[in-house]
Amino acid sequence: MLDVRISDLLRQHPSMHDLPGLVACLRDRSDLLSQRPRMRWDEPTPARMLAVLPRLAKRRCQWVRRLWDWRPPRGRRLTQFRSFVDHLLAEYPVPAFLSHGLLGWDQYAAYRHLAAGGSPRGLEWPRLTRAGVRYFMTAPADLSFREAVIWTRVRERRGTTGLARALIAADRDHVVTDADCQKTRWMDDPFWLNDVLPFLVREWPIPADEVAAVVGFVQEQRFEDADVVLGPEAGGGPLQPDLSLRGRTLHSLRHLMANWRDDLAETIAERTTNEGRRWRPSGIVGYELVERDGQRQRPRRWSIRELLTERELRVEGARMKHCVVTYVEDCVEGRSTIWSMQLERRGQPRRVLTIEVDPKRRRVVQASGHCNAGPTTVQRKVLQQWAAVRSIEVGSSV
């Protein structure tokens, strides 16, 4: 199977004359391109490493060493492949997490800047203080570029490694999100840096789940539209746009988090609006799936349900940051149906995918994640299971 993949790769890139040499070097000097019966969950597969090779071949003019001078170090596959990339492209030491990120080829400009001997403070992003440089350059190898920035922001403000890991976990779960789809990254926002982060540093140690609950509460109260937080009956705009953690204790914040609905009952009632236009259900049945999550065997609940009001489309678009609200007319006329896939973990439901289905052809036309991103492998699997159970066809472009 792997030999077929390699043959297909070489056939797809006949003009890349260095590509066969890259494949030959990896096969001769290591077993990186061999499929092991058992692999660590966080190790790169041969297929992922193969995908990087055309990018390396394309940048042949940037190689700083001869290909066949590479000698793989002992250790994990990820360590060896990082060493291969750094051997070809890095004239100076580069943080391990940046080489790891090249498996997705993210932040290549930052990698090239540091590999050529540039100062970390010369990066376009992130902007680093003198203290931040040390933490950025020594961030753990298992982090992505974005997560290394979160690590740096916490550590340079005297936060512990445990707090940094807890905030990284919250970011992975999209508990706290960027404004405008990463045009403004939350870990650079003065409010989070100067208000929330000092509170968490001061109150640490806090359980990681509670850290996620705190930042999630602040996110929804200060930044999310009310109809996203409370459902289709609420109005637009944040519930508490002036919320601050300055001067608060952990005890007082816990009280606020437990009683905010009662405290804001009058405000919520004043904001409640009608739901706009409605339309009839398509007749297609939704879906629910419960599965176990990883080694801890925590339940994950997947659900897919049809959206039947203009307000629900507006909430979906606000949460997912895309333009699904423009499909109101198509839904009213029966030309289209819109569905929301949600994932519930630790008792907290989260929207993960918006699905359009053509009701006449019973065909999934498109599926969009946050900021119109494509579905992940797991989300696509759940989508296909629903489609199979309900006799729905999934379009080839989905």
Q: Per the omega criterion (within 30 degrees of 0), is the bond before 73 cis?
A: no
Q: How far apart are CA 377 and CA 47, in angstroms?
A: 15
User: For the segment 325-379, what is each residue's pLDDT rounded down to a tens digit?
Assistant: 899 999 999 999 999 999 987 677 888 999 999 999 999 999 999 888 889 989 9
Domain boundary pick from 63, 89, 115: 89
Give the pLDDT band (50/70/90) at residue 36.
low
Does residue 364 lie within any of the structural domains?
Answer: yes
Q: Report the C-alpha gap between 42 and 254 in whole angstroms.
A: 35
Residue 140 lies in a domain: no
- Range scoring the smallest mean pLDDT among 79-83, 148-152, 201-205: 79-83
Distance CA(101)–CA(182), nearest Å, equals 18
Q: What is the mean pLDDT of residues 243-257?
A: 93
Residue 220 pLDDT: 86
Report, as an integer, the average pLDDT of 145-164. 94
177 vs 113: CA distance, rounded Å: 28
Cα 94 to Cα 11: distance, rounded to the nearest angstrom: 33
Give a yes or no: residue 349 inside a domain: yes
Is residue 15, in this structure, part of any structural domain at all? yes
What residues make up the domain containing 228?
172-271
CA distances from 316 to 38, 187, 227, 330, 398 (A): 41, 24, 10, 16, 19
pTM assigned to the model: 0.68
pLDDT of residue 333: 93
Domain check: are 366 and 317 in the same one?
yes
Specify the number of domains making up the chain: 3
